[in-house]
Amino acid sequence: MASNEAYIVEETIVQVLSVILLSPLYQGIYEKALARIQGRRGPSIFQPYYDIYKLIKKEVLVPTTSSEIFIFSPYVMFSIYLMISFVIPVVYPQPVLFTPTVDFLGGALLFSLASFIKILASMQSGSNFVALSASRILSFAFLSEATLITVFFGVALITGTNNPYVTLSYLTKDITHYLSLAHVFISVSFFMLWLFETGKLPVESSGLSELGMIDDGLLYEYSGKLLAILKWGSYIKQYLLGSVLLNVFLFPWFLIKGPLGAIEDVGIMFGKWMLLILIAVIINTTLAKLRLFKVQDFLAVAFLLSLFSLILTVLQGGE
């Protein structure tokens, strides 16, 4: 019994450390691959780490119109994302230390809470530019948040549970479960949501003069350590959503259980992420940039696909 508890603690530590330490690396690899495809040399794959380190050393400037919410919200958001890494199958295919406390729906609500806090805190700056970005995000959020929750409701109906680890086991047990039309629809829906939430759609740009700037506009008034924490938190969010997409929806196989499984699974996840990054780079470079109002159409399709999955599951009588 004691050895099992020790294994669970080890698996939890490996999973959480991989989330914290490796999430900026995957963003760096994506940006490097995107630059190479576009014929540029591009930054180092370790550039996100350099940026975080540089920002941590810089002075923090706070707008005079802001309150404590503006200052402490980056720490709260980072803590929320860190909490999620304790409960969902990011690396290891079996429950870790605090898995019984949160299910799929709870994870979705935590993601939504972090997004709400981010918007609320950014508005404290009093910047018109930030307000413009916030209004853009809110015009898309009603579809993206609805899609996220509907996807997890669909998973619960398909598998009969809202536990991500049971879902993973259910899909790997029988190939027909994985190839069912309801699962295909819900997987495509979640992949489209991941593209939007992580800024992989061609419409989004980090340039200040770009009309397609969405999420980055919320960070306009942040600086120094607070900006570093926000950027690091966004990398963790990307890693969490991408790992759920890979392990529960697209490629639920190959993960290893056992005392050394968590360590080996870090390497397996690296291979899965390389494939996901390749797909994202191809989409970003082959599709023309979407106009801003077309983002709603994109998210509406993702939401409808998740609804179709629910309808199919109900008509088929569940599993």
Q: What angle do CA 193, 264, 83 make, to 5 degrees?
A: 45
What's residue 76's pLDDT?
A: 94
Q: For 128-162, what is each residue's pLDDT tens digit? A: 778 878 888 888 888 888 888 888 887 777 777 66
Q: Is the pLDDT of residue 55 over 90?
A: yes
| pLDDT mean across residues, the chain | 82
What's residue 253's pLDDT?
A: 79
Averaged pLDDT for residues 90-95: 68
Look at 209 and 119; give whichever has higher pLDDT: 119
Look at 168 and 210; give whichever has higher pLDDT: 168
Averaged pLDDT for residues 104-120: 84
Rounded distance, CA 175 to CA 163, Å? Answer: 19
Model pTM? Answer: 0.88
Question: 3: phi > 0 → left, psi -120 to 50 → alpha, else beta; which?
Answer: alpha
118-127, 210-219, 282-291, range with greatest mean pLDDT? 118-127
Averaged pLDDT for residues 230-240: 93
> Out of 101-115, 218-232, 252-266, 268-282, which region has the weakest mean confidence (pLDDT)?
252-266
What's residue 50's pLDDT?
A: 95
Rounded distance, CA 48 to CA 158, Å? Answer: 38
Domain ranges, ordered by start, for the chain:
2-315
Look at 155 and 194; give whichever has higher pLDDT: 194
Output the CA–CA distances (angstroms, integers) from residue 253 to 99, 122, 172, in the order listed: 20, 40, 6
> For residues 314, 315, 318 and 319, what is the CA-based torsion angle, rounded to 10 degrees?
-160
Q: Is the pLDDT of residue 318 over 50?
A: no
